[in-house]
Amino acid sequence: MNRLHLTGTLGKVPKLETSPSGIEHLQLVIEHRSMQPEAGMNRQSYVRIQVVLSGEGLQHWLEKLTVGCEVLAEGFLHRHEDSNGSPRLVLHAQHLELI
């Protein structure tokens, strides 16, 4: 199963793009910090991940999302490659909410 639920703060100003096929893509960066138990001890966890929300009617998010606001993103992980061929994981959000 490939499913991720992640809460965190918005780390960059969101960017709305439209693909050549006409699909809107909202690009976000979420930063998550927490303490996680591991091997009987607490470990500080830090994640900074790119998030993509795709579909119609995403313009309204640009007015709601500001750097530092708390969000919950739910979706699946997918491998993207940058122009140099370096791989990275991207969260393709199917649900996004302010918290």
Q: Which secondary structure element, helix H or strand E, spans residue 49, and what is its range?
A: strand 41-55
Residue 83: the pLDDT is 86
Residue environment code for 6-27, b if the CB has 16+ CB neighbours within 10 A, otherwise e: bebebbeebeeeeeeeeebebe
Regarding pTM above 0.75, the answer is: yes
| 84-96: pLDDT as tens digits | 999 999 999 999 9
| 21-79: pLDDT as tens digits | 999 999 999 999 999 999 999 999 999 999 999 999 999 999 999 999 999 999 999 99
Q: Domain count of the chain?
A: 1
Q: How far apart are CA 7 and CA 37, in angstroms?
A: 17
Residue 58: the pLDDT is 95
List the one residue out of 32, 72, 66 whose CA is nearest residue 49: 32
Pairing mode, if any, of strands 87-98 and 70-81? Answer: antiparallel
Residue 53 belongs to domain with CATH number: 2.40.50.140
Tokens of 43: 């470990």
Domain span at residue 19? 4-98
